[in-house]
Amino acid sequence: MMKENILPADTYIVLNKTILRDEDRTILTMLYQPIIGGIATNLYFTLWSNLDRSEFVSHVLTHHYLMGNMRLSIADILEAREKLEAIGLLKTYFKKDTVNSYIYELYSPLSAYDFLGNPILSTTLYNHIGSREFERLVQYFSAPKFQYKEYVDITSSFHEVFESTTDAPFDFSGAGIKKVTNIDLAFQTTIDFFNVLSLIPKGLLNEKTITPDRKELIYQLAFIYSLKDEEMADLLSNSIDEKRMIDVELLKQNCRKYSSFENSGKLPTLVYKNQPKALLHKTSDTTLKSRTIYMFEHTSPYDFLCSKNKGVRPSKNELMLIEHLMLDYQLSPGVVNVLCDYVLRINENKLTKNFVEAIASQWKKSNIKTVEEAMHFAEKEHRNRKNMHKEKTVMKKESKPKWFDQKIDSELLSDSELKELEEKISQV
């Protein structure tokens, strides 16, 4: 994906690629907002309000206007925009010029039926708001049931009212007419579909009954529950009915039960896998500090802990702690990596929950957002700890991260060191 730095003077226009309706506001607020947050939701509404009276296109506006209108920094706007793009509400086009320009295409949210039927979105929503509120939402969007037992359907059909004529034929393609348009969620598949099928006992499943929709559902379930080929094959084997077809609802239920059991009753959530683009360190030098920052920024907390555990999957408690830092303390992934590295170094390779939370709370209050800020803050905190130790008593020497040394700002890596660090980055 092309990366660009937005400047306040950069212009944008909004194009409406769908039909926006009043009920979309309710769906965005009640279903999407718990996942993408209030800022991203407000950005969507703001772009919607930028449309002219025809509700098709906006005037040319600047990002400075957007910053002032929403009272946000350009980094916050970019992060909110990425969430709208990722969840299928917005597409962005970029043209480089003396003053860069953007096109923001608005797309409709999914209907409540499609949203709640999507395993990625519904599972994430469930875990954000809890079972009680989730059931309330299901009831809110459910149609009331009515008994038709004593009624007879007497509706007229088309041919009973109208008949064909011999007038000249009329050809109309429908191109250009506005319609409700959605964007499918784009995500990376985590399983080999054909390998999964090969692991299911022969004769158990009629593979010809697997429609494209069912195949997509299997990919979605594997993604949201982080399932491997063998796990998905077992769950599919236990979700096949007497007609040798996949029972979709049973498969969803089995995946949820399996994930809940494996994760101490907690269902997965959607969080940033890596550092948001707006918070990346912008440099091209090869000093050790820059390369270390790059590693923290381009590694997910899950993969970072795996590398610290020598390839072993993090424990359930560690994963819950990481999720807690990212969701409750709103720390970015790169900052979480720095925090974990710092704590593991000074706390005998243990992520003690209370200790981690104390540091996270301090960093949150100090508005630490970038990896470089987190590293600087950790260096400062480590110096304070050393001074306190000297004043009280002689403490045993703590192991500290190499990036605490100030000289690494200008220390260039040798070719062999650079290759070694790049190999380490590629392994996590």
Q: What is the pLDDT of residues 130-177, one digit of tens each?
A: 889 999 999 999 988 888 888 999 999 888 888 766 666 666 666 677
- Give the whole-angstrom CA distance, residue 155 versus residue 139: 29
Mean pLDDT of 298-321: 81
Q: How confident is the model at residue 256 (pLDDT cuts 50, 70, 90)?
A: confident
Whether the predicted pLDDT of 69 surpasses 80: yes
- Can you give the pLDDT at residue 418? 57
Give me the pLDDT at residue 14, please. Answer: 96
For the segment(s) 11-110, the CATH number from 1.20.950, 1.10.1740, 3.40.1360, 1.10.10 is 1.10.10
The residue among 374, 271, 279, 370 whose CA lies nearest residue 328 is 271
Where are the domains positioned within the chain? 11-110, 277-427
Q: Which tokens is 134 given? A: 């989730």
- 238 vs 173: which has the higher pLDDT: 238
Condensed to tens digits (0 to 9), the pLDDT of residues 21-46 reads 999 999 999 999 999 999 999 999 99
Q: Could you tell me what percent of the chain has a pLDDT over 70?
A: 79
Check whether 49 has a pLDDT greater than 70.
yes
Look at residue 270 and tell me whether its pLDDT is greater than 70. no
Of the listed ranges 70-74, 289-293, 394-398, the one predicted with least confidence: 394-398
Output the pLDDT for position 181: 83
**Does the pLDDT value for residue 239 go beyond 80?**
yes
Q: What pLDDT does 162 receive?
A: 82
| pLDDT per position as a tens digit, 366-415 | 889 889 999 988 888 877 776 666 555 544 555 666 666 555 555 555 56
More reliable by pLDDT, 189 or 245: 245
Confidence (pLDDT) at 377: 87
